[in-house]
Each structure stands twice: as C-alpha cells, then as structure tokens.
C-alpha cells in the first residue's frame, strides 16, 4: 500500500536516535532517554518520564493527613525517612502542633542516618555504572549496618513511616545510642579504605574529571539543588538557609566544590557523609529525655482539621531541596498537595548539559545526578 | 531591603500586580503577590534578573466556586530564605503565557498542569503528556474527576477471552 510507505524526511541522515532505557541498568528505575547522536556525540537528549507515576498528589486529596503518611516514603525510597518527616513537619506547621524536644533531636538522628545510607547506595551504584563492582560490595556492607539500625527503631528497612504529627511513633530504646555509635565507628573505619579504592583510581578520575560540567546559569534556569548545585560551588542547603527542626543547634559545614563536573558531585557527597556523622554525634550527645509524642495530641486516629491556608515547607533531602505545598480548605483531607521533588529539576537539566558530550559519558553524567525515578514521577 | 521585598517592590512599581481575588493566605514564603496573567512573563524575567531560580509551580482547582485555576509559582534564591510566590488567577479556557522561554524547567511544570488539569499555556514548545500515558483524555486532578476509566494498558479489568488461560477446563472440572 502506498500510504504505508515511509515518507523521506528533509532531515540529514547524519544524525540518528538511540533509546537508552526504559530497561537500561544505569537509568535507576524506569527512565527512557531519547538520545539524538551524530557519530558518537550527543546532539539532543530528551528524558521520557512517567513510567512509575502513581498519582501521589491525587491520593493525598482522597485521604486524611494521617492516612497519607505511608505514601510519603514511597516517593523517594532511598531517603524515605526524610520525606516522611517532611510531610509530618509540614502538617505540624499548618496545624500549629508542638513537638517535644526529644522527638526533634531523634528525627535529626534518623534523617541523617538515612542520608548517609542513601549516599552510600549511590556511590555503589554509580561506580557500578562506571564498571567498578568492588565498591558496591563495600558500600552495601556499610549501608546494611545503617538499615539494620533504622529497622530496629522503625520496623522497616526502606519505606519508613515512623513520623507522627507531634513526634514519633515509637521511642528510641535505651540501647539505641550505643548501637548508633557502633555504626558510626564502623563507617569511619571503612571510609579511608573506600577513598583509597576509588579516588586513587586513574580510570575513575579520567571518566569523571571535567565531564558533564554544569554552569551556574543552567542551575538557575532549571532549578538544580542539592549536591549537584553544591558541586558548582554554591553553598545552598535548606538545613542552613531555612533551618528547620533541631538543625540550628548543631554545628556542621556545607561542603562545596568549584568544578561542577561529575567528580565534584562525587566528592561533595563523600564530604557530606562526614558532616552527617558530625551531626549524629552531636545529636546523640544532646538527645534529651522526655516524651517522644506530644501530650494528648495526636496519634493517627485523631481527625486533624488544619485551618484554611496554603503552606509551603522545604527540607533538604539526600538529593536536594524537597518542597511540600499543602492547600487546606479546613477539611480533614488536603484540598491539594504538591511535591516539589529535587530529582525532577536535576534530571531536566540534562537536556541542557548532555548535548555536546560523548555517548560514553552519558552513563557517567546521568549516574552522577543520583536520580530516583519514583520521586520524579510521583 | 531584603531581596524578596525588593522584587515585590519592582513588581508593584511597574504595575504588574493584581488585586487579591481571595483572602486565602500563603505561609512559608517571604513575599507573595498576585500577578496579572498578562504580566507573568515580565514578572518572571524580573525574578530571573534578580537572581532567583524557579522552584515550583502548583495548579489548584478552584473551578467550583470561582470558575478559575490558581497557579502558584515559587521562586527562590541561593543566599537567604527568600521564597517569593507569584499567584495567578486564570479563568477556565483562557491560555496562560508560558515561562519556558525564561526558565527551562517551567516547560515540564506546565506540561504537568496541562495534562492533570487542562490548563493551556500559550507559546509552549511541546505541550504534551509528561507523566500520564500519551493519549490520556481525562484530567485526573480536577475535582470533577471521579471514576477512573479502565486503562488501555491494564487488561485485568476485562474478563480474559475464553480458553486463553485454560479457565474453561478448570470450571468444567469443578
């Protein structure tokens, strides 16, 4: 049939399209990149997302504030604790609920452990993308210690749901500080080894230095945040800029690197883990006694009716600035909930960063963004 | 003057702000201004010149009492708590100018608002589905959206054709 004959296009034949994903092992979840290539050089990159869209924003409108709690850590399954606490804290702010001191400090400890475990998984997976299998085993061994510790407090290994409006579901037991310190000791002992293994490796340096440089202008246009922005020399961290919870009372630095390349992003995350450990050590010292849940408040069964209003609340997740916007019309359910997820912007900037680079570097650049697709698709 | 107040003053001095159509308050932001849709692009350019990055855009369905969508843009800076909210009140079936020429990430946010609510953005380079399957015809985040239509990708909602999975034999055996 004549109608089915492909019509010749005016496009020159020297470019061609390559699909990376949605089943590619280095796309970390289900992401498809439509790469347009000329030879081995990328001309255009189009991320195709939405494969794991679960309509979290619609679900939030159909259930009470407390019923939405389990959804939160399913957005970013690698730093679910931080996302769970973000929702709890946003609702506390909207409804004006006070939180006991012990719960505030305990949240910081749990969230920082979760941040380290997320970074550890990223280091392992990223190096696996680059062809190095050994670091993966090292980082998973360390990560397992953290996961085991968090499991002992929350009952879950990955999708934590331990935040409650007004505190935490379960108190830290008397033995927790000892176990937490033991994990910290284990982490600290392993890091020099990890650094020797990775940063002195010539192949790693050649594949990461000067590759995938992001400019400040690109960061601003696309809204890049988190370690990706700090690797461009900007010390932007919500924990410092808009301090929340118990963070103002702990001393820590914001590591930055000026280069903006893949290696800088790696270094920033390595240095950040040391800062998280610093926070954890101070918090364990400062952990006050007292109730873990506000007196008479809240449990999950109480019907919560926040006043009419819109609340924007931001926290620093392992990937960048995570924002929650809740619109309340005074009902028991949110009228609208919007999640500003960091990976969304950090992936979108790739349309601008990747063109001009070699296709062999595409995996290194994509891996360095530390994207979590369920968080982008929501 | 702090940066957010400066930006708000620029908006007001150039007449880009609009009268508040509702008293619904916004907290968690340093400054919040209603912007007329016609001045949205100019106001976003002013934010970019002042060093702001595009943080988020939220579409809220206010069709039921007001017949409008509320678009809430937030912009932020890297140096201080400086979140500025622009709120735009858009009547149904009126196109909003796109911000994708000013901020690249706006293109994705606008695609989302289009597929989930049906808000049309004039001048958008590629206003197509982002999160939903291509060809989706319903707008799931509208308050008027109720029953989920069966997905063309999900055949669990339909009975399997007879004889495909041996079900007839199993039934016959009792």
Does B166 have pLDDT greater than 70?
Answer: no
- Mean pLDDT computed over B50-72: 89
Q: Which of A234, A314, A345 sits opposite B105 (nearest CB)?
A: A345
- Mean pLDDT computed over B95-118: 91
Residue-level pLDDT at A24: 72
Best residue in A214, A229, A312 to probe B by mutation, most B CBs within 10 Å?
A312
**Burial class for A58, CB neighbours closer than 10 Å (0-12, 13-18, 19+):** middle
The whole-angstrom distance between A147's CA and the closest CA on chain B is 31
Among B34, B133, B33, B53, which residue's Cα sits nearest to residue B99? B53
Phi, psi of B59 (to 5 degrees): -105, 135
Smallest CA–CA distance from A334 into chain B, residue: B60
Contact, A122 vs A139, CB < 8 A?
no
Residue-level pLDDT at B21: 80
Phi, psi of A286 (to 5 degrees): -95, 0
Contact, A102 vs A289, CB < 8 A?
yes
Best residue in B32, B45, B55 to probe A by mutation, most A CBs within 10 Å?
B55
Among A108, A226, A85, which residue's Cα sits nearest to residue A160? A85
CB contact under 8 A, B55 and A323: yes
pLDDT in single tens digits along all 378 residues of chain A = 444 555 555 555 688 888 887 777 666 778 888 888 888 888 889 999 888 888 899 888 888 888 898 899 888 888 889 999 999 999 988 888 888 889 999 999 999 999 999 999 999 888 888 888 888 888 898 999 999 999 999 888 888 988 888 888 888 888 999 999 999 999 988 888 888 877 888 888 888 888 889 999 999 999 999 999 999 999 999 998 888 888 999 999 999 999 889 999 998 998 999 999 999 999 999 888 888 887 766 555 567 888 888 999 999 999 999 999 999 988 888 999 999 999 999 999 999 888 888 888 888 898 888 888 888 888
Q: How far apart are CA B10 and CA B6, in angstroms?
A: 6
The whole-angstrom distance between B96's CA and the closest CA on chain A is 20
Q: How far apart are CA A116 and CA A143, in angstroms?
A: 8
Q: Give the whole-number percent of chain B exceeding pLDDT 90.
A: 23
Residue-level pLDDT at B171: 45
Query: For residues A345-357, b (16+ Cβ closer than 10 Å) or e, as one string?
Result: bbbbbbbbbbeeb
Does B33 have pLDDT greater than 90?
Answer: no
Q: How far apart are CA A158 and CA A114, in angstroms?
A: 9
Residue-level pLDDT at B158: 57
Confidence of residue B75 (pLDDT cuts 50, 70, 90): very high
Chain B interface residues (partner A, CB cutoff 8 A): 24-29, 48, 51-56, 58, 60-61, 72, 74, 76, 78-81, 83, 85, 103-105, 108, 116, 129-133, 140-141
CB contact under 8 A, A241 and B51: no
**Burial class for B49, CB neighbours closer than 10 Å (0-12, 13-18, 19+):** exposed
Alpha carbon of residue A279 to chain centroid = 18
Contact, B75 vs A241, CB < 8 A?
no
Cβ of A40: how many Cβ atoms within 10 Å?
Answer: 10
Q: How far apart are CA B64 and CA B73, in angstroms?
A: 22
The whole-angstrom distance between B14's CA and the closest CA on chain A is 24
Among A247, A329, A336, which residue's Cα sits nearest to residue A286? A247
Residue-level pLDDT at B169: 46
The H-assigned helical ranges of chain A are 56-61, 69-72, 80-95, 101-129, 134-154, 176-199, 202-208, 216-222, 227-230, 238-241, 262-286, 342-348, 350-353, 359-368, 373-377
Contact, B100 vs B106, CB < 8 A?
yes
Percentage helix, strand, coil, to 5, in chain A?
50, 15, 40
Q: Which of A61, A221, A310 sits opposite B26 (nearest CB)?
A: A310
Residue-level pLDDT at B170: 44
């Amino acid at each position: 049939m004549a109608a089915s004959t492909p019509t010749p296009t005016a496009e020159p034949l020297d470019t061609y399209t390559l699909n990376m994903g949605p089943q590619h092992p280095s796309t970390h979840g289900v992401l498809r990149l439509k790469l347009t290539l000329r030879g081995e050089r990328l001309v255009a990159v189009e991320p195709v997302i939405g494969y794991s869209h679960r309509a979290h924003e619609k679900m939030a409108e159909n259930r009470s504030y407390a019923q939405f709690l389990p959804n939160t850590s399913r957005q970013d399954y690698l730093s679910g604790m931080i996302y769970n606490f973000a929702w709890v804290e946003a609702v506390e702010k909207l409804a004006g609920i006070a939180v006991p001191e012990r719960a505030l400090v305990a949240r910081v400890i749990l969230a920082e452990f979760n941040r380290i475990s997320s970074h550890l998984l990223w280091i392992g997976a990223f190096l696996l993308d680059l062809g190095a299998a050994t670091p993966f085993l090292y980082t998973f061994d360390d990560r397992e210690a953290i996961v085991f510790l968090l499991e002992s407090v929350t009952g879950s290994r990955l999708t934590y749901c331990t935040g409650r409006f007004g505190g935490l579901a379960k108190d830290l037991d008397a033995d927790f500080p000892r176990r937490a310190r033991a994990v910290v000791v284990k982490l600290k002992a392993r890091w020099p080894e990890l650094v020797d293994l990775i940063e002195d490796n010539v192949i790693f340096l050649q594949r990461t230095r000067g590759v995938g440089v992001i400019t400040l202008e690109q960061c601003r246009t696309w809204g890049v945040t988190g370690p990706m922005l700090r690797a461009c020399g900007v010390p932007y961290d919500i924990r410092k800029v808009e301090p929340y919870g118990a963070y103002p009372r702990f001393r820590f630095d914001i590591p930055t690197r000026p280069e903006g390349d893949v290696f800088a992003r790696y270094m920033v995350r390595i240095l950040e883990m040391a800062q998280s450990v610093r926070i954890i050590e101070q918090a364990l010292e400062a952990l006050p006694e007292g109730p873990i849940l506000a007196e008479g408040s809240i449990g999950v069964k109480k019907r919560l009716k926040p006043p009419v209003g819109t609340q924007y609340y931001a926290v620093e997740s392992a990937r960048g600035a995570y924002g929650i916007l809740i619109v309340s019309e005074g009902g028991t359910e949110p009228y609208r909930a919007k999640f500003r997820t960091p990976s969304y912007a950090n992936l979108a900037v790739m349309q601008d960063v990747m063109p001009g680079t070699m296709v062999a570097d595409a995996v290194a650049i994509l891996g360095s963004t530390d994207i979590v697709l369920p968080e982008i698709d929501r | 003057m702090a940066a957010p107040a400066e930006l708000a003053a620029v908006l007001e001095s150039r007449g880009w702000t609009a009268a508040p159509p509702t008293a619904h308050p916004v907290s968690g932001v340093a400054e919040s201004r209603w912007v007329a849709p016609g001045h949205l692009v100019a106001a976003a350019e002013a934010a970019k010149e002042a060093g702001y990055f595009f943080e988020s855009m939220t579409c809220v369905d206010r069709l039921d009492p007001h017949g409008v969508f509320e678009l809430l843009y937030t912009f932020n800076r890297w140096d201080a708590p400086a979140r500025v909210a622009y709120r735009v009140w858009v009547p149904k079936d009126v196109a909003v100018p796109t911000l994708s020429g000013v901020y690249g990430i706006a293109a994705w946010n606008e695609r989302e608002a289009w597929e989930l609510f049906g808000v049309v953005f004039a001048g958008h380079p590629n206003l197509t589905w982002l999160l939903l399957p291509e060809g989706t015809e319903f707008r799931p985040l509208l308050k008027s959206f109720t029953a989920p239509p069966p997905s063309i990708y999900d055949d669990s909602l339909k009975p399997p054709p007879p004889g495909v999975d041996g079900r007839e034999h199993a039934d016959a055996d009792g």
